[in-house]
Chain A
Amino acid sequence: MREMRSEHDLAYEQKVQARIRIAYFLALIAFSLLCLRLWLLQVIEGDNYRRLSENNRIRTQIIKSPRGCILDTNKKVLASNRPSFDICLVPQETSHAAEVLQDLATLVQCDVSQLQQKAHQARGRPPYESVKLLTDVSRDVLALVLTHKLDLPGIIVETTPVRYYPSASLACHLLGHLGEINPRQLQSPAFAGYKPGTFIGKYGVEQAMEQELKGTDGGYQAEVDATGYKVNIMGRVEPIPAYNLILTINADLQQAAEEALAGKTGAIVAVDPQSGRILSMVSSPPFDPNLFSRSISAREWGDLINNPSRPLMNRCIQTMQPPGSTYKMITAAAALSEKVITPESSFFCSGFLNFGARPYRCWRKTGHGTVALERGIVESCDVYFYQLGILLGPDRLARYAHGFGLGDLSGIRLSEEKKGLIPTSDWYQRRYGIPWQRGESLSIAIGQGANLVTPLQLVMAYASLANGGTVYQPLFIAQVETADGKPVKEFSPQVRGSLPLSRETITYLKECLFKVVNTPSGTGTRAHITGRDVCGKTGTAQVINLGRDSRSPRDSDLQDHAWFVAFAPKDNARIAVVVFIEHGGHGGSAAAPIAQTVISRFFELETSGV
């Protein structure tokens, strides 16, 4: 057979041999390429893949540090945390996730597409990490899911702490609320270390005391296998529990004040005149801060934002209104200190005062007759104070107003606070481009015109008169303590300054304010409490004069704002209160009774030792 091979055959044989050599070189090239690939993966990109394998194997688990509690002065809980039960999916633990989602949707009667959307977002996460499908479910839904757990492979229940305000809207404006951290905050250095999705204080004490309340999350690193099972714990950092805050607020007094103001739009602030500590701070209408502890729904948010009564506004520090006749105390103080009058100086009130081209009216159309200072205050004679306004002029009056803390931030640790406005001739020139109009001096002397104050400023002004002349910074926080009750920081009263008044003037003014409440002709008699020596001043701020509303006036819009500022007792006062009611009518009839209720309750609580 061998010898029969043709030449052609031999040539063919050579061709096969040549192709075997080609195959050899092709194999060499193929193996070289594989080596190159391995070089690329293991040497060039080796570090990167080593890191990825570590990421695979080491799972960092956050140990949540619950937010600190907020307590009232008697350690009654105003804000704490409650567990939120979240229904989660671990996609790798089921082979037919779509059916499980469908079953779950049928079980809890929700939209399956919503669940699918949530589950879809989980793509690209480390395996065996859970995805939240339904957050903060009710106990009924929780029970339903748990009883059907065996039919729902891959569905687990996770528990996370959520902010909880047990008394719902109690002191809601002071406490504030939470909200999810926004992208801008995430980038700011003030929020270094915060993670997306964290709920932070957005308003009120929650925002002001974020640093103390937030705590520091701990965590541990666990080596896990491919099923997410923890093989061993590699390192652990304990969470640092947040601090608890003890406020100066008395929840019982707060409750009474809120009830007294229920259904009205307005504000009440009660303070301790001897320290500036806030005893209660009420703004009405209230809102439920619990709504913000999870992602608030668009509908709930819309309801709050579009409500014409603006429930999210803290009227104690954010509404700026003319103080009305409550300002007469300041005008009187300025006039006495500047010695433009003596207490005995009297003017005649015929029911109006002609000044310039027009008459300036007194609230009592028939007039007060001949009036000295004391009766001017007690019966709130407008004409008397018009005269003082003419004598003082705006700049001297403004100096005293600032001395009482009006027109300046009070220094309360709430970022929402508004400053108010005390007009001066300079301000007028800047604002209107013309010199001060002398008629304005009459208006501002009775707390109208351009004067704007917040309820907090007004109560602090009266509190400084009540305590004999010390202007305190309002304080809402008494103490910061650790979770197990060890004090971390005490907040002592901060003095801002003292009134630019003589002792005699202060005593005299207090006497006048006492008579406002305690003489039959006084405007504030409805705040009288037997044996408690309540002192106060009514105010009725005219709305129509503001002239900023061109809508067809409705009744409630035309009603005056009612004010009443009081303190008690006359000597060594222990409480000062301001009541402000938007479109409430007369201060004496609308606001004074509410102040009386709050002050009575304060003394009741004091006697019962709570």
Chain B
Amino acid sequence: MFDRRLVTNFDWGLLLVALVLSGLGIVNIYSAGSFSLNDSPAPFFLKQMYWLSISLIVLIVAVAIDYQLIARNCYLLHGATVLLLITAFFWGGPTAGTHRWIQIGSFSFQPSEFAKVSLVIFLASSLSGSTPATSGFLQGLVLPGLLTAVTFLLVFLQPDLGTAGLLLIIFIGFLFLVRLDIKQIAAVVVSGLVLLPCSLFFMEEYQKRRIITFLNPDKDSLRAGYQAIQSKIAIGSGMLSGKGFMSGTQSQLRFLPEQHTDFAFSVWAEEWGFVGSVLLLLLFFLLISKGLKIATLARDRLGSLMAVGLVLVLFWQVCINIGMVCGLFPIVGVPLPFVSYGGSSLITNWVIVGLLLNIRMRRLTF
């Protein structure tokens, strides 16, 4: 029962943008990782290429299954993710004091990456079923809020401040989109702004320090400062047209920390300059505007909400990552979609693309 409309409504442009971004990411990882590490036989760019091919298979699955079917099983899906998050605390043991990874054989992944998507699917389906007028307060706000809180807490305790924050922002984004009036949003924001300094006020200095150390065990403040400075130097020294491919001194001489993962954009900006940086930003903006377009075109509210949520995941990751490497935000571990090295992240981003394509091509099927 193949529907021709599935093909005519397929968003080839979105697929192309995502492919170009992934390709540039691999080029960038090639440059960033051109020195070889003794303990990894396959250079990072090769590994990322394997991950991309796996991602493309996952993409086909994400496109093939009707998103409504996926949404109907959202409890199962998100429940499984939450289970994986819990498993991470017991399985595999802590890596550098954190419980972010689940290791199966030589293969390891970060369940928190998948949590981003499954939370979006869950929130979209639970919030789209009925209007605020008809659905109860409980089902409309408290239940999704509670589940978000549980997910948030599990990721927060790993600890992965960046991803946890991202989950929170996505939830707030949904509230903004469907539930609350401006007044209510303002109330939430104001109470949050009031509560945060209050709680800090009641904490002793050493408690604050402990919390910061707990959240960032591998990054003492001095080291984080060093990373931020080196990243700014890398980006700034790229100037208008960059130092050229594989010629970034900050990255080639390894002044940049974690340059193939969180600081991949700094490598790119150093070697390709302002021109290259803006090009990359344009590609991301194209991706996001296409995603939002899909949200407006979706055949139902579920598709529309799901699309917006998925776009939010990409958008916030791009903003936080680039903002952080530019010195606008503190250093939190959020990767740049498609560009940063990492299997879990790449697969998740391609799942997002798959779901967006899924929603887009089924806009006229009922």
B323 touches which one: A9, A16, A34, A35 (CB < 8 A)? A34
Residues of A contacting B173 in the complex (Cβ-Cβ under 8 angstroms) = 23
Given A42-B269, A47-B239, A225-B253; A20-B285 close (CB under 8 Å): no
A42 and B308 contacting across the interface, CB-CB below 8 Å = no
B250–A37 contact, CB under 8 A?
A: no
A590 vs B232: C-alpha distance in the bound complex, in angstroms? 78
Chain A residues within an 8 Å CB radius of B305: 16
In the complex, what residues of A have CB within 8 A of residue B312's CB?
23
Q: Which residues of A contact B131 (CB under 8 A)?
A: 8-9, 12
A41 touching B236, Cβ below 8 Å: yes
Bound together, the chains give a CA A46 to CA B304 distance in angstroms of: 42
Contact among B235, B254, B304 for A38, CB-based, below 8 A:
B235
Specify which chain A residues have a CB less than 8 angstroms from the CB of B327 in the assembled complex: 41
**What's the nearest-Cβ distance from chain A to residue B346, in Å?**
22
Kindly list chain B residues whose C-beta atoms are within 8 Å of the C-beta of A53: 233-234, 236-237, 249-250, 255, 270
Q: Chain B residues near A54: list those with CB within 8 A.
A: 237, 249
| Contact, CB under 8 Å: B269 / A38 | yes
| CA gap between A595 and B272 in the complex, in Å | 83
From A17, A27, A49, B233 is in contact (CB under 8 Å) with A49
The interface residues of chain B lying within 8 Å CB-to-CB of A37 are 323, 326, 328
Q: Are B238 and A34 in contact (CB under 8 A)?
A: no
Q: Does A223 contact B (CB under 8 A)?
A: yes
B1 at the interface (CB under 8 A from A): no
* Contact B237–A20 (Cβ < 8 Å): no
Q: Is the CB of B237 within 8 A of A49?
A: yes
A contact residues around B304 at 8 Å (CB): 16, 20
B250, A50: Cβ atoms closer than 8 Å: no
How many angstroms between the C-alpha atoms of A8 and B135 in the bound complex?
A: 13
Q: Tell me if B319 and A20 are in contact (CB < 8 A).
A: no
Interface digits, A43-68 against B, CB 8 Å rule (1 contact, 0 not)?
10111111011101100000000000
> Does A303 sit within 8 A of B, measured CB to CB?
no
Chain A facing B: main interface SS: helix
- Is the CB–CB distance between B234 and A23 below 8 Å? no
Given A9-B131, A34-B281, A226-B253, check contact A45 B308 (CB 8 Å): no
- Does A93 make an interface contact (CB < 8 A)? no
Give chain B residues whose Cβ lies under 8 Å from the Cβ of A231. 253
A42-B295 contact in complex given A8-B133, A16-B177, A56-B255, C-beta closer than 8 Å? no
Q: Is the CB of A13 within 8 A of B301?
A: yes
Contact A56 B319 (CB under 8 A): no
Given the interface contacts A27-B285, A34-B323, does A20 sit within 8 Å of B292 by beta carbon?
Answer: yes
- The answer to whether A16 touches B233 (Cβ under 8 A) is no
Contact A57 B249 (CB under 8 A): yes
Scan B132-143; emit 1 where CB is below 8 A from any A CB, else 0.
Answer: 110000000000
A-B contacts, 28 of them at CB < 8 A, read: A9-B131, A13-B301, A16-B301, A19-B176, A20-B295, A20-B304, A23-B311, A23-B312, A31-B285, A35-B278, A38-B269, A38-B274, A38-B326, A43-B274, A46-B238, A46-B240, A47-B239, A50-B236, A50-B237, A50-B239, A53-B236, A53-B237, A56-B230, A56-B233, A223-B253, A225-B253, A225-B255, A226-B254
Q: A20-B177, A34-B326, A50-B236 are in contact. List 12 more A-B contacts (CB 8 A).
A: A20-B295, A24-B289, A27-B289, A28-B285, A39-B274, A41-B232, A42-B240, A43-B239, A45-B236, A46-B274, A49-B237, A57-B249
> Which 7 pairs across A and B sit closest by C-beta, in order of nearness?
A49-B236, A46-B239, A53-B237, A225-B253, A42-B274, A226-B254, A41-B236
